[in-house]
Structures are given as C-alpha cells and as structure tokens.
Amino acid sequence: MLAKNMQVVYKMPDALTDVVTHYCPGCTHGVIHRLIGEVIDELGIREKTIGVAPVGCSVFAYNYFDTDFAEAAHGRAPAMATGLKRVHPDRVVFTYHGDGDLAAIGTAEIIHAAARGENITVFFVNNAVYGMTGGQMAPTTLPGMTTTSSPRGRDVELQGFPLHMAEMLAQMPGASYIVRRSVHDPGHINQTRKAIKAALKVQLNQAGFSLVEILSNCPTNWGMSAMESMNFLKEQMVPFYPLGDYRIADAVKSLIVK
C-alpha cells in the first residue's frame, strides 16, 4: 500500500512474470529481460507478442516473459519464429538467444532469416561462452580467452576466429536494423533499451528483420566476480566487438529516436 502523494517509480514490468529466475548472480540476462519487458509494456504489445527462445541459458525464458512463448530446438529459433510470424503476421514475434546458439549451430537459420527480411526481432546475447553447459568455447570466444574446451586459451590457428555476427548480418539486403550494444554500465544499458525499442518498432512497422546484439557477461564461467566481469566486458569485449549501428535501412531511419 502506497502512502498518499507517493508515486510508483519502479516496478516489475507487466510483460515479466513475478518469479525468481535461474540466472546466476551478477549475470546480465536479468537486466536484458527487464529491458525487453519494459519496452513491451511501453509499446503496449504484451498481448500480441510471441517469444521464441532456443537452447542455452535462455532456454527457460518462457518462464519469465508473461507472453505466449515457444521453446525452440538449439539454433532453430529463427526458423520457428519464421513459421509463427508467417501464420500470425499481425503478432510481434521475437527471439532471444545466445552466441553458441545463434553464431554456431544456428548460423544458417539466422543468416537466412535475415536474407528473407523476415519481419521478426532478434535479441542476440553475446557473452563469448557456452553458459548452460558450463563454459565451453563459443564461436564468439575472444582470441586467447580460456574456456573449458580451450584450456590453453583460444588459439585462432587451431580453433578459428571469432564471428562478428552484427557485421556479417549487416551485409544482408533483407536486414533492416542491425546494431550492437552492451550492458556494462547504466549509460550503455539505456542505449540498449533504446535499441530494443527501435528493433520492435521496426517489426511493428512491417519493416523487416531487426537484430540487437547485446554484449553481456558470464561471471560464473569467466571465473570472475560480477564487478570484474563488467570490467572485462568493458575493456576486452567492447574493443573486440565494437558497439554501433551496423545497418539502418533508409526505410526505418525515421523510427529511431536518438
């Protein structure tokens, strides 16, 4: 019960369920969920939104969003979302997945969803590691970075180079909105929120494929405290994966508030 003259300045978004998540302490998935929830509320689209999350740490996302939700096979969220969106073109369909999912096993699906200009919104959480399975090398693991499957550090001669997905997808004529953001401090969290809103507005305007790559942390599997992981995100991840707008199609420029 609020006392007289007091206002609600902060609450759980309606688009999120009131449950404890399974995410580790210090993990930024919770922040990103909240941002998406806030934007869904702000746009008033909770009832018309259908989420899709595949395998990875986001596999339980259906427990946390108070929207219709589908759990997809590993890597296949863009395909499943395509099926859903094509039979419900008036609904808002978003996918939410990590780097192992989107940039390794699901590479073909994400590229072709972008190539088709599929009118869906993709939230791509890049924390450079397979979290759910316990910290193996991901397609986006930084050169030299130690993981349980690159115990001597990622050797690019041996294990190949990391994928820059935003840059790659920005080459696709079918993609309308491709940006990279980070959530390592409040300023950048605000930037991420704006990008999430812009991406969903692109879809609401039937303007084609939108994707926000969000650089994120994994304190558990990076073997760091939450603060250390934020510093790593800022000092190692951001320089390697530069933040920015990689493709803003002319048709969607007017939808974006700077």
Partner 1 sequence: MTRELWKGNEAIAESALRAGLEAYFGYPITPQTELLEYLARKMPEMKRVFIQAESEVAAINMVYGAAAGGARVMSSSSSPGVSLMQEGLSYIAASEVPVVLVDIMRGGPGLGNIAPTQADYFQLTKGGGHGDYHPIVLAPATVQEAADLTYEAFDLAEKYRCIVIVAADGNIGQMMEPAELPAPRQIDKRDRGWELTGAVGRERRIITSLYMQPEDLEQVNVRLQGKQKQIEQNEVRYQEYLLDDAEYAVIAFGTAARVALTAVKWARAKGIRVGLFRPISLFPFPYARVAELSKKVRALLVVEMNAGQMLEDVRLAARDALPISFFGKMGGTVPFPDDVLPEIEKMVG
- Binding residues for partner 1 (CB under 8 A): 46-50, 52, 59-60, 62, 65-73, 76, 79-88, 91, 108-109, 111-112, 116
Selection from 24, 7, 22 nearest residue 226 by Cα: 24
Distance from C-alpha of 80 to C-alpha of 52, rounded to nearest angstrom: 8
Residue 19 Cα distances to 12, 23, 49, 66, angstroms: 10, 12, 20, 11
**Of the two residues 58 and 141, which places its CB atom closer to partner 1 in the complex?**
58
Residue 61 beta carbon to partner 1: minimum distance, rounded to whole angstroms = 10
Distance from C-alpha of 222 to C-alpha of 232, rounded to nearest angstrom: 9
**Of the two residues 19 and 227, which places its CB atom closer to partner 1 in the complex?**
19
Distance from C-alpha of 237 to C-alpha of 192, rounded to nearest angstrom: 16
Residue 3 Cα distances to 6, 10, 13, angstroms: 6, 15, 21
Residue 233 beta carbon to partner 1: minimum distance, rounded to whole angstroms = 29
Residue 256 beta carbon to partner 1: minimum distance, rounded to whole angstroms = 25
**Of the two residues 46 and 188, which places its CB atom closer to partner 1 in the complex?**
46
Q: Which amino acid is at 205?
A: N
Selection from 128, 129, 112, 31 nearest residue 78 by Cα: 112
**Of the two residues 70 and 226, which places its CB atom closer to partner 1 in the complex?**
70
Residue 73 beta carbon to partner 1: minimum distance, rounded to whole angstroms = 5
Residue 229 beta carbon to partner 1: minimum distance, rounded to whole angstroms = 26
Residue 239 beta carbon to partner 1: minimum distance, rounded to whole angstroms = 33
Q: What angle do CA 24, 29, 34 make, to 5 degrees?
A: 125
**Of the two residues 20 and 87, which places its CB atom closer to partner 1 in the complex?**
87
**Of the two residues 72 and 125, which places its CB atom closer to partner 1 in the complex?**
72
Which helix (H) or strand (E) element contains residue 136?
strand 136-137
